[in-house]
């Protein structure tokens, strides 16, 4: 494909994702199924351009404004393209039958891009930057740089096999992998691999789970014999990790309000013959003050998984942000009723925004005097000796730049009365 045709395809895809709220991965997959003209190399390049654009959306918007360029997908994508490819010319992108056509502001766009003195990095819009805590704000530039990296492909090793054995099996099957540094059950796969190839050796030996997600689930500290509720179970990734921690001994329930995710969870449990071991939870008074551990991985803005789902940041507005806060507060208040005396609530988000994290905890504690925060430092030292984070108080904010994982927040609340 000519350069202009690659850009034209990228513009068409970005339009569907940004303007029509399409899922990027599904939209790209469907696009290439219909448009079969692209070769493997072209597909990779188009996908890379689309995701880099989505990550840099607010930076590109700012550059267009500063240079009096009309902000639209076409203009802003060309700003990105020429800033990364300063030896290219406008002629290069016009050549070819299927390339983009010239427009009046193209020369202005080109000049602005090639004269940029800095590398374009992702940024939050200003109103969202203010939602981060002081430690995160002081480290924002490193976080922005880290967002440009490829998301890691991590797996969590199950109890059926040890990590060394699985690592050997992966490498023998030409899936280059390494032990991850912090989670003792984590392996990082070092290159993109077709899901079909992974499925051939899965055999219930592992689950796909980012190392950051593994760390916060580990810190929840489920143990054998406990009664555990995963209240926002989603598709069950953390549910299965909790079950592994309990070594199959104890009682574990999973609750998910979204019916599509709930059905996925049920199918996942059935495939692993765990439907009798992990029960689906339904609200009932008999479970009041019942559980030793209630895990709440609450719905949030997804700012911690920005590099994996860059469209989520573009779609946040002040109203949707407020709605997230409202839902989080409701879930925390409702689920706390199921926690027994001396039981623990593990409050988790994949967000680095203070309003969704520390502020929710402080608000909850003001109204619920029978709960206290457990200092997570002590638990962290027991679980993961060598790890050092910048954002630990009594709780932990794991930013995307700390260990190049997804970003998470976790706070442990103990019910003492």
Look at phi and psi of residue 109 and say left if phi exceeds 0, alpha if psi is from -120 to 50, else beta: alpha
How many helices and strands, by DSSP H and E, does the chain display?
Answer: 19, 12
Total residues belonging to the chain: 417
CATH 3.40.50.150 fits 213-415, yes or no: yes
pLDDT of residue 160: 82
Architecture of domain 153-208: 2-Layer Sandwich (3.30)
Residue 205 to residues 25, 159, 340: CA-CA distances in angstroms? Answer: 26, 8, 33
Residue 215 to residues 25, 125, 207, 246, 414: CA-CA distances in angstroms? Answer: 26, 29, 14, 16, 19
**Is the Cβ–Cβ distance between 230 and 238 less than 8 Å?**
yes
Reading the block at residue 46, the tokens are 């188009």
Tens-digit pLDDT string for the chain (417 aa): 889 999 999 999 999 999 999 999 999 999 999 888 888 899 999 999 999 999 999 999 999 999 999 999 999 999 999 999 999 999 999 998 889 999 999 999 999 999 999 999 999 999 999 999 888 999 999 999 999 999 999 999 998 889 999 999 999 999 999 999 899 999 999 988 877 788 788 878 999 999 999 999 999 999 999 999 999 999 999 999 999 999 989 999 999 989 899 999 999 999 888 988 989 998 878 899 999 999 999 999 999 999 999 999 999 999 999 999 999 999 999 999 999 999 999 999 999 999 999 999 999 999 999 999 998 888 887 777 555 665 567 899 999 999 999 999 999 999 987
Residue 410 and residue 160: Cα distance in Å, rounded? 28
Residue 404 and residue 144: Cα distance in Å, rounded? 12
Reading the block at residue 299, the tokens are 């719905």
**Is the Cβ–Cβ distance between 293 and 219 less than 8 Å?**
no
pTM over 0.85: yes
Please work out, in degrees rounded to the nearest 5, the angle formed at the alpha carbon of residue 55 by the alpha carbons of 50 and 57: 90
**Is the Cβ–Cβ distance between 238 and 217 less than 8 Å?**
yes
Q: Which residues pair with 107 in a beta bridge?
A: none
Please work out, in degrees rounded to the nearest 5, the angle formed at the alpha carbon of residue 403 by the alpha carbons of 402 and 408: 65
Strand 291-297 relative to strand 227-230, pairing: parallel
Give the residue from 158, 264, 278, 271 showing the smallest Cα distance to 209. 158
pLDDT of residue 389: 62
pLDDT of residue 1: 86
Tell me 236's DSSP state: S
**Is the Cβ–Cβ distance between 404 and 186 less than 8 Å?**
no
Listed in order, strand segments (DSSP E) in 242-383 are 251-254, 278-280, 291-297, 339-349, 371-374
Neighbours of 319 (CB within 10 A): 8
- Longest alpha-carbon distance in the chain: 73
Strand 339-349 relative to strand 278-280, pairing: unpaired
pLDDT of residue 388: 60
Residue ranges per domain, the chain? 3-120, 153-208, 213-415
Q: Which residues pair with 396 in a beta bridge?
A: 392, 410
- Start-end of H helices in 194-344: 195-202, 211-219, 237-245, 259-271, 311-315, 318-336
């Amino acid at each position: 494909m000519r350069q202009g045709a690659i850009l034209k395809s990228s513009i068409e895809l970005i339009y569907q994702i940004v303007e029509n709220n399409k899922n990027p991965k599904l939209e790209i997959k469907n696009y290439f199924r219909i448009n079969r003209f692209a070769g493997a190399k072209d597909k990779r390049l188009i996908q890379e351009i689309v995701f880099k654009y989505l990550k840099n959306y607010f930076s590109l918007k700012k550059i267009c404004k500063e240079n009096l360029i009309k902000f639209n997908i076409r203009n802003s994508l060309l700003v990105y393209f020429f800033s990364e490819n300063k030896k290219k010319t406008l002629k290069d992108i016009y050549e070819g039958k299927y390339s983009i056509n010239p427009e009046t502001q193209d020369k202005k766009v080109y000049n602005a891009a090639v004269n940029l003195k800095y590398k374009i990095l992702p940024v939050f819009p200003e109103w969202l930057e203010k939602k981060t805590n002081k430690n995160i704000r002081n480290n924002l530039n490193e976080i922005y740089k880290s967002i440009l990296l490829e998301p890691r492909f991590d797996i969590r090793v199950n109890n059926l096999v040890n990590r060394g054995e699985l690592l050997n099996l992966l490498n023998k099957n030409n899936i280059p992998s390494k032990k991850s540094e912090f989670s003792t059950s984590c392996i990082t796969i070092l290159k993109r691999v077709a899901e079909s190839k992974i499925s051939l050796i899965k055999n219930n030996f592992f689950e796909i789970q980012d190392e950051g997600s593994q760390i916060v689930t580990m810190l929840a500290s489920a143990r054998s014999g406990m009664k555990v509720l995963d209240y926002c179970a989603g598709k069950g990734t953390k549910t299965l990790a909790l079950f592994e921690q309990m070594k199959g001994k104890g009682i574990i329930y999973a609750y998910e309000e979204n019916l599509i995710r709930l059905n996925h969870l049920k199918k996942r449990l059935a495939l692993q013959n765990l439907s009798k071991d992990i029960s689906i939870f339904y609200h009932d008074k008999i479970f009041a003050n019942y559980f030793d551990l209630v895990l709440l991985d609450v719905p949030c803005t997804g700012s911690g998984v920005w590099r994996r789902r860059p469209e989520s940041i573009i779609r946040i507005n002040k109203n949707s942000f407020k709605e997230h806060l409202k839902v989080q507060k409701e879930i925390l208040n409702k689920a706390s009723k199921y926690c027994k005396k001396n039981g623990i609530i593990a409050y988790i988000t994949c967000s680095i925004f203070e309003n969704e994290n520390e502020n929710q905890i402080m608000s909850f504690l003001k109204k619920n005097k029978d709960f206290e925060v457990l200092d997570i430092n002590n638990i962290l030292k027991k679980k993961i000796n060598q790890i050092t984070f910048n954002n630990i108080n009594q709780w932990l904010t794991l930013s995307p730049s700390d260990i190049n994982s997804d970003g998470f927040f976790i706070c442990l609340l103990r019910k003492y009365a």
